[in-house]
Chain A
Amino acid sequence: MNALAARRRHPAAIAILIILGLFLTGAVYAALAPKPADATTRALPAQSVEEGKALFRANCSTCHGLNAEGRATGTGDQIAGPPLAGVGAAAVDFQVGTGRMPLPRPDVQAPANNEIKFTQDEIDSMGAYIASLAPGPGVPSEEAVDPTKGDAARGGELYRVNCAMCHNFAGAGGALTRGKYAPPIEGVSGRHIYEAMVTGPQSMPVFNDANLTPESKRDIIAFLYTIDEAESPGGMPLGSLGPVSEGLFAWVFGLGLLVASAVWIGAKSA
C-alpha cells in the first residue's frame, strides 16, 4: 500500500486511472446492461404473421402504407401515418387495444376510445406482423404487469418524478401544448400502462428498460392500481384536479349556500 501511495503523483497515474475507470465502466455496463425485453415478452405464434399482414393491409395501410413504410398526406407536407418498422408488438397492442387506432379522423392526437375495433387475437396477429418487420418492444408478460408483485410506495415516488408532471398527481391527466394532452390513466390496464412506457405513444417519451427497469415499471403499475382502488378519504375528490376545482367549488357552492342562508336569515322578521 505504501509503495502505491508513494507513486500516486507519478505522471502516468492519471492516465492509468482513466483507463482503469473506462474499463471498469465498460465491464460493469456489459454485465448490467438491460437485455432485450425477451424475459418480459410473450411468445408470438409465427403463423399469425400472415393473418396480421392481411388485417394490416385491410385496415391500416391507408395511412401507414402497404408495407407499413409510412405515408405522407395528399398534400405531401404532413405525415398521414408514421413508418411502423421497429415499433414492436407492444405499440400495436397499446394503440389498437386502447381504441386509439384505427384513428377515426386526423387530430392533434389519437384519443382513447372505448370501442375496440379488433379482437385480442386479431390485435396479436397484427402485432406479430409489425414485430416481424423489425425488432421492437414486445407485449409484456402477465407477471411483468402484475400489480400485486410491485411496491406501491416506491412506484409512487417514481411516478411523481417521471409521470406526474404530465399525468397529474392522481393520474387525472394534464394539458400539453396546442391542444395535445396527457390522458387520464385512471382505470387503464397494467399491460397498456407498461406498453405506453416502453413505446412512448403520441407525445409521451419512451421509458426504456435503462430509464425504468421492468421492476420499476411494475412498481408504478402497482401504485396506479393502489390509487385507483383506494377510496378518497376526505370525500368527493372534485376530479382530483387540485386547487382550481376546489376554488370553483368554493365560489359556486360554498358562496351559494352561505349567501342563500344569509338571505334566508335576513328575510326573517326580527
Chain B
Amino acid sequence: MSTAPTRPADALRQGDRPAEARPGAAARTVGGVAGWVDDRTGAAKPVGYLMKKVFPDHWSFMLGEIAMYSMIVCLLTGAFLTFWFVPSAGHTIYDGSYVPLRGVSMSEAYASTLNISFDIKGGLIIRQIHHWSALMFIVALVVHMFRVFFTGAFRKPREINWAIGSVLALLAIIEGFAGYSLPDDLLSGTGIRAMQGFVQTAPVIGTYLVYAIFGGPFPGEMIIPRLYSAHILLIPALLVGLFTAHIGLVFLQKHTQYPGPGRTEKNVVGFPVMPVYAAKAGGFFFIVFGILALISAVVQINPIWAYGPYDPSAVTAGAQPDWYMGFADGALRLLPGWLEFEIFGYTVSMNIFPGALLLLPLVYVVLGVYPFLERWVTGDNREHHLLQRPRNSPVRTGIGMAAITAYSVLLFASGNDIMAIKLGMSINDLTWFFRIGFFVLPPLAFWVTKRICLSLQRRDRDTVLHGRETGTIVRTPDGRFFERHDTELTPDQWILVQHEPVAPLELEPAVDENGVARPAARKDRLRARLSRFYFADAVNPVTPEELAAAHYHGEEHEAIEPSETSASGGAAPIESAEAGRH
C-alpha cells in the first residue's frame, strides 16, 4: 500500500483500518503448493479443521470403514466393467472362447458378460472383485449397524444419521439386486422374472406397476437398459450423496466413544486425523482392497457361464438371490399358499405380497424409526456421546437380538433346499421348523438376551462391591472358612460403575387436582407401560454410598484376620459380607 503512488482520492481513505490478514495467511507458510491452493480456494482453514479432528480408537469403529472401502472398490471396479458391458437384450449368437456355449443364442448383455469373463484381460478378476465387494459391502454395513444399535450410538443427536444409514442399507440391497440382474444369465433372468411376479402382487396397482417398470406384461427387452441406468447412475448417485451426508454428520457431531476413565460427554479421547488416522485409515483401505482381491482371486463367485443364458422355460435348482435379499426370499418360501384369496373377482396374493414385496421397505422403516420410538419411551432428551455397553441396556439389546433372530430365520429359510440336500433333511420339515421358529425364536432370544444382560450387570455390581476372588481361603478363629475378596477399585473397574441409573417413568395422575381428565392420559399410560417394559427390572450401577458401605464391611472383615477379635464380634461381619455376596 505504502509503495503505491499517491492519488488525490486516497485522502478519503485516510481513517480506514488496513485489511486484516486472511485466515489462510498462516497456512501459506506451509508450502508453495498448499499456499497457492489456499490463496485461490481458502481451503486451509476447513482442511486444517478436518485434519485436527480427533477420533476415538476402537476396532468396532472400523466396521463402517470396511463398508465404505468396499463401496469404493465397487465403484472403481464397476467403472471398469462399464467399458465392456453391453446393457442390451438384443439377440446374438455367442462366438467367444468359452466352448460349451459357442453357437448358443443369447442376449448381448449375457454375451458381453461372457466376454468380460473370458476374453478381456483381467475381466474375470475385476468382475469377481466387484461381486465379492458388493457382498462384503452389505455384510460390513449390517455389522456396522449392529455395533451402532447395541452401543446406543443412535441416540440424540445422531437419530438423523441412523435414519440416513437405514436408507443407505435399503439402497445398497436394491443396488445389489439391480447388479445381480444385469448379466442376463439364467439366475439373474429368473430373479427378474420373480421380481415381476412380486410386483404384480401389489394390491390394485400391481399390474400397472409391472407395465411401468417392465414396459409390458413380462420382462422384455426394456428392463436390462433400465436396470443398468439405475445400477450405474441413479442408485450410486444416491448412495454416494447420502453416504457423504452420513460421514459429514460424523465429523460434525463428533464420533461417539466407549466409556472409560477421563472420557466424558463433553470430550473425545483419541487421536487427530492427521497424521494418525490418515495413515491408519489409508492403510486400512489397502488392507480391505487386498483382502477383497485375495478372496476374488481364489474363490469363484456367480459363475454366469455355468448358469447359461436366460431362457424363460429353464430354471436351476438352488436359484437364490444374493444373501442380502435372502430374508425376503425366505419369507416367501415360508408363507403358506392358502393365504391367497379372491375378492370381487380379483386375486389377492397374500401368499406372496407380505414376504416378497412388503417386508423389504417395512424392515428398513422399522429400523429407521427405532431411535425416535426409544427416545419417546425413555423421555431422554439429552445428548449422548458416550456409548453404552450392551448389557447396560438389557431390553434394547434383547430387542436387537430378537430382530436379528427373526431376520436370520428368514435368511436361513431362503436356503432351505440347500440345507435339505446338505444335511439330508426333508425340506418340508425344515420349512415347518422355520415357520414355527419365526414366531417362537425371537421372543426366546429376547428373553435369553435380557436375562444374560441382567446377570452380567449383577456380576458387575458384585465385582465392584465385593471385588474379585483372590483364591486366598481364610479360616476364622471359630473355625469358619471364607475366601478373601480383593475390593480395590482399579481403573478398569470404572466402566463397571460409569453408566447412569435408570428407572421407569412415573405415571402422572389421569385427572388433575380439579378432577378433570387430562387429554394426554391415555398416551401417557402407554408410554409408562413401555417404560416399565424397558426399565422395570433394571439393575443399576453401584452408588458411592453402596460402595462405601461394602468397603466398611470389607475393612471390618479384613480386620478379623490378624487381630484376635472376640468370636461374637467377628462372626457378624462375615455373615453380612456373605449375605451381600449372594
B-binding residues in A (CB < 8 A): 108, 152-154, 156-157, 160-161, 164-170, 172-179, 181-182, 223, 226-227, 230, 232-238, 240-251, 253-255, 257-259, 261-263, 265-268, 270
A251 close to B421 (CB less than 8 A): no
Q: How far is the CA of A236 from the CA of B320 in the complex (A)?
A: 19
Instruction: Determine whether the beta carbon of B57 is less than 8 Å from that of A247.
Output: no
Residue on A nearest B411 in the bound complex, by CB: A247
Neighbouring B residues of A170 by C-beta, 8 Å = 303, 306
**What chain A residues lie within 8 Å of B291 (beta carbons)?**
254, 257-258, 261
> Provided the pairs A153-B101, A179-B426, A265-B284 are in contact, do residues A241 and B418 lie with their beta carbons within 8 angstroms?
yes
B315 touches which of A164, A181, A240, A268 (Cβ 8 Å): A164
A113 CA / B64 CA spacing, docked (Å): 49
B525 CB, nearest partner CB in chain A, Å? 43
Q: Mark B291-302, 1 if CB is under 8 A from A, else 0.
A: 100011111111
B124 touches A233 (CB 8 A): yes
Complex Cα spacing A181 to B418, Å:
10
A–B pairs, 13, beta carbons within 8 Å: A152-B100, A160-B308, A169-B186, A169-B187, A175-B417, A181-B421, A233-B303, A236-B298, A240-B303, A241-B318, A247-B323, A259-B66, A265-B62
Q: Are A263's CB and B101's CB within 8 A? A: no
Q: List the A side residues contacting B301 at CB < 8 Å.
A: 234, 246
Q: Name the one of B271, B283, B314, B323 contacting A160, with C-beta atoms under 8 angstroms.
A: B314
Whether the Cβ atoms of B303 and A246 lie closer than 8 Å is no
CA distance A166 to B102 in the complex (A): 25
B316 within 8 A of A: yes
Given known contacts A181-B421, A258-B288, A156 and B100 CB-to-CB distance under 8 angstroms: yes
Q: Give bound CA distance, A182 to B314, whole Å.
A: 16
Asked if B100 and A173 make an inter-chain contact with CB atoms under 8 angstroms apart, the answer reads no
**A150 CB, nearest partner CB in chain B, Å:** 11
Q: Is the interface of B mostly helix, strand, loop or mixed?
A: helix
- Once the chains bind, are A164 and B299 in contact (CB under 8 Å)? no
A247 with B66: in contact, given A232-B303, A262-B284 (CB under 8 Å)?
A: no
CA distance A169 to B135 in the complex (A): 22
Does B311 reach chain A (CB closer than 8 Å)? yes
Q: B311 — which chain A residues lie within 8 A by C-beta?
A: 157, 160-161
Residues of A within 8 A of B61 (CB): 266
List chain B residues, Cβ under 8 A from A248: 323
Which one of A165, A236, A238 lies within 8 Å of B317 (CB-CB)? Answer: A165
Q: Are the C-beta atoms of B63 and A262 separated by less than 8 Å?
A: yes
Known contacts A243-B322, A254-B136; 9 further A-B pairs (Cβ under 8 A): A153-B101, A165-B316, A169-B306, A169-B307, A170-B303, A178-B427, A249-B295, A251-B139, A265-B287
Closest 7 CB pairs of A and B: A174-B317, A247-B323, A234-B300, A266-B59, A179-B426, A175-B420, A175-B417
The CA-CA distance from A170 to B302 in the complex, in Å, is: 12
**Nearest-neighbor residue (CB-CB) of A230 within chain B:** B100
**Chain B positions 264 through 275: 1 when the CB is less than 8 Å from some CB of chain A, otherwise 0:** 000000010000
Bound Cα distance A235, B135 (Å): 17
Distance between A36 CB and nearest chain B CB, rounded to angstroms: 29
| With contact pairs A156-B100, A164-B314, A235-B297 given, residues A247 and B135 touching in the complex (Cβ less than 8 Å) | yes
Write the chain A residue with the least CB distance to B308.
A160
Verify A262–B66 contact, CB threshold 8 A.
Answer: yes
State which of B295, B297, B317, B426 has its C-beta within 8 Å of the C-beta of A182.
Answer: B317
